[in-house]
Amino acid sequence: MKIVVAYKWAPNPQDADVRPDGTVDLSRAKAAVSEYDPVAFELARRLADATAGEVIGLSVGAASIDTPLARKAALSRGLDRLVLVADDALADADGTRLAAVLAAAVRAIGDVDVVLAGDSSIDVAAGQVPLTLAGELGWLGLASVSRVEAADGGLVVERDLPGGTTVLAVAGPVVLAATADAVVPKVAGMKDILAAAKKPTEVLALDGLDVPAPGATLTTLSTAKPGGGDRQATVIDGADPAAAAAQLVGALRQAGAL
Amino acid sequence: MDFGLTDEQQLLLESLDELLERECPESYIADLDLHHKPPTTFRKAMHEAGFGSLGFPEEYGGTPVDAVTLVLLATRVARQGFNNGYGLELLQAMDIIEFGNEEQKAEVLGLLANGEVPFALGFTEPGAGSDNSAMTTTAVHHDGMVTFNGTKTLITNALQSKYLLLMAKNPGVEDPRKAISMYLVPMDAPGVTTNQLDKILWHISDSCEIFLDDVTLPESCLVGVKGNGFKQLMRNFEMERLVIASQCLGLAECAFEDAAEYAAQRVQFGKPIGQFQLIQQKLTDMAIKIENMRNFVFKTAWMLDQGVPLKSQGALCKRYCAMAAFEVADEAMQIFGGVGVTVGTRVSRLWRDIRGHRFGGGTDEIMVHIAGRQIVKDHS
Ligand SMILES: Cc1cc2nc3c(=O)[nH]c(=O)nc-3n(C[C@H](O)[C@H](O)[C@H](O)COP(=O)(O)OP(=O)(O)OC[C@H]3O[C@@H](n4cnc5c(N)ncnc54)[C@H](O)[C@@H]3O)c2cc1C
């Protein structure tokens, strides 16, 4: 089975500076494999091991996603090889455009059975790339995947949806976006990190790919901090649970919540 | 001079961060400390991720590692506020990998993989502390067997270990350096009894007196060469001092961070106490000590990696770091005021745990004993 893991080399918002006007400066944030993507790496590795398959990492973005550190960070997480499209033309690309480039790269890789992705990226967190990618490829796309296993040449996929769990039989190529807690990813050990330096990376030129021109481009009009609400930060001493519960009910009444 | 990290070191630290966040949060450490329990699940997770066998030869499933990287990792684990001796356990296991027979190696590596402490190290005796050549525990070889008699004390992790790596003397040999051999003795061998010592620090590790009464075992429990015990034990001692120093550094960093955050937030006389110059001076001097420790530890590790003879460097580094780390923890506790001595405040644990490092691995004074002699010799 040929499995692609689409991941993002993303700045960590914990290192971000929020300017007084609410805009976010990520220029000094350290980049890493985006928070939830290791879950997809782990699912892919397990699936590949069960099917004697291959796991190919794929990331597209600005030229800065291709550094020796970025390559090793991805390759140490259970990949067999890596494919990158690193071009500053993609520096501020929106999710739709990134999905189109990812789709072109998946086509260039060829004969891919499954694309796995994380739940959402740590910096943008819109969660729309995997399903847009499925659309671009004309494949089935499933989000909220909590389990995936090989069965009879196809896959059995479990989805964790608000209404309950669904188990599906899936044949044919598919894009799957994993839930953030589908599996606990293995951390990369010294052996994995040392081996990463020896694994192959292929850099695809953006202009060599067959990426359809975007039908529309996004213009951001404004950004703002999410409303935090007026927090009262009332702390209730829990030493005596009954008294604490009474105090909590009192506080909620006072706030008009009850 | 390059103070940067290699890609590999950076990725390894990121992996360790992930593991610490997942397997070793403060609540876990505080619980172990409170209930005097060993960190078995964390050790196991570290082993599974390959951190438990760094430095072991590849044929034993290990990955070679340089001293700088090992020290980076040991410091990082300690910075979690965790006095678990990461690095020291590796060094102890190295003694067996280097000198043990195949059976001993298989046994020790198997226990390590399960997150267990394979053995405690027994050289200190009631009458032989800093002067360990004065030890009186005997090992008498006879008819393919060996019989031990004597008392060891202050032995860390004796109750949670399956074996004791015992240093004992052949009473027939005069020169103490040639009389001491190393043995791997099962803690449940007939004639081995223990008396637990209650102590005020290092609660995740037990401490014991161990009594050996005519403990008789096949000679195959000998580790390495008869009479070479002391040399074998000293084989990794430079590295051991360095790893202890890096633990002191990590624990001190943790105390410093806690104190600096507390100073920024604790309000007295209408402002955060961090605004008072007396508190700022404490934080400044703490920061200077931490910087000095860091430079000392990493320079020493670098020297080891370059094959530069350490001479007294390891002793200087261990003495400075154990003492400076305790000074940092003490000032951190002072910044916390009275709440700093309560059990739920992490700084109280750090203060206790760092104090132990002024004894373990050789006391502050013995480091002077070692380094001072060397300095005078170099200038004579
Ligand atoms: C937390 C902890 C864990 C330990 N774990 C182990 C273990 O796992 N295995 C083990 O075998 N031992 C262990 N020890 C024992 C430790 O190695 C000894 O405590 C240490 O070697 C000092 O010996 P002592 O306690 O007998 O003190 P002593 O040697 O009696 O020293 C008493 C005081 O005199 C000073 N002193 C001694 N000689 C000189 C000198 N020549 N010049 C100046 N001052 C001197 C010492 O520095 C100290 O201040 C541990 C100790 C502690 C506290």
Residues from A in contact with B at Cβ < 8 Å = 32, 68-69, 72-73, 76, 184, 186-194, 196-197
Chain A residues with CB-CB distance to B18 below 8 A: 187
Q: Domain B233-378: give its CATH code.
A: 1.20.140.10
What mean pLDDT, rounded, does chain A reach?
A: 92
Chain A: residue whose CA lies nearest to B48:
A189
Do B322 and B364 meet the contact criterion of CB atoms below 8 Å apart? yes
* Domain locations along chain A: 2-208, 229-258
Closest Cα to atom 2, ligand 1: which residue?
B360
Contact A190 B10 (CB under 8 A): no
| Per-residue pLDDT, A217 | 79
Residues from B in contact with A at Cβ < 8 Å = 7-8, 10-12, 14-16, 18-19, 22, 49-51, 54, 63, 65
pLDDT band at B225 (very low <50, low <70, confident <90, very high): very high
Ramachandran quadrant class, B311 (left: phi over 0; alpha: psi -120 to 50; beta: rest): left
Residues A46-50, mean pLDDT to the nearest whole number: 96
Contact B8 A68 (CB under 8 A): no
Please return the burial class of A207, using the count of CB atoms within 10 Å of its CB with bins 0-12, 13-18 and 19+.
exposed
Ligand 1 geometric centre to CA of B363 (Å): 6
Ligand 1 geometric centre to CA of B208 (Å): 14
Contact A76 B63 (CB under 8 A): no
| Per-residue pLDDT, B380 | 93
Residue span(s) of chain B under CATH 1.20.140.10 come to 233-378
Contact B54 A190 (CB under 8 A): yes
Chain B residues with CB-CB distance to A187 below 8 A: 15-16, 18-19, 49
Q: Which residues pair with A145 in a beta bridge?
A: A159, A178
Q: Which of B7, B15, B22 shows the shortest C-beta gap to A189? A: B15
Tokens standing for residue B86: 């990461």
Contact A69 B15 (CB under 8 A): no
| Per-residue pLDDT, A229 | 66
Do B217 and B187 meet the contact criterion of CB atoms below 8 Å apart? no
Residue B366 alpha carbon, nearest atom of ligand 1: 47
Residue span(s) of chain B under CATH 1.10.540.10 come to 7-117
Tell me the ipTM for this assembly: 0.83
Residues A177-194, mean pLDDT to the nearest whole number: 94
Q: Domain A2-208: give its CATH code.
A: 3.40.50.620
Contact B11 A186 (CB under 8 A): no
Sign of the torsion formed by the C-alpha atoms of B99, B100, B106 and B108: negative
Closest Cα to atom 16, ligand 1: which residue?
B360
Question: How close B37 comes to chain A (CA, Å)?
Answer: 25
Residues B46-52, mean pLDDT to the nearest whole number: 88
Residues B35-61, mean pLDDT to the nearest whole number: 88
| Per-residue pLDDT, B88 | 77
DSSP chain A: -EEEEE--EEE-GGGPEEPTTS-EE-TTPPEEE-TTHHHHHHHHHHHHHHHT-EEEEEEEESGGG-SHHHHHHHHTTS-SEEEEEE-GGGTT--HHHHHHHHHHHHHHH-S--EEEE-SS-SSS----HHHHHHHHHT-EEEEEEEEEEEETTEEEEEEEETTEEEEEEE-S-EEEEE-TTSS-PPPP-HHHHHHHTTS-EEE--GGGS--PPPS---------PPP-----------SSHHHHHHHHHHHHHHTT--
Query: Could you give the percent of chain A with pLDDT greater than 90?
Result: 69
More confident residue, A237 or B278: B278
Q: pLDDT (tens digit, 9 = 90+) per residue, B311-359?
A: 899 999 999 999 999 999 999 999 999 999 999 899 999 999 999 999 9
Q: pLDDT (tens digit, 9 = 90+) per residue, B50-94?
A: 898 888 878 887 888 999 999 999 999 999 999 987 877 778 788
Query: Which of A190, A192, A201, A237 to probe the B interface (max B CBs under 10 A)?
Result: A190
| Per-residue pLDDT, A122 | 86
Closest Cα to atom 29, ligand 1: which residue?
B130
Q: Which fold has domain B7-117?
A: Butyryl-Coa Dehydrogenase, subunit A; domain 1 (1.10.540)
| Per-residue pLDDT, A228 | 65
pLDDT band at A251 (very low <50, low <70, confident <90, very high): confident
**Phi, psi angles (nearest 5°) of residue B144:** 75, 5
Among B124, B240, B370, B373, residue to substitute to test ligand 1 (most atoms within 8 Å of Cβ): B124
Q: Domain B119-223: give its CATH code.
A: 2.40.110.10
Residue B130 alpha carbon, nearest atom of ligand 1: 29
pTM flag (> 0.80):
yes
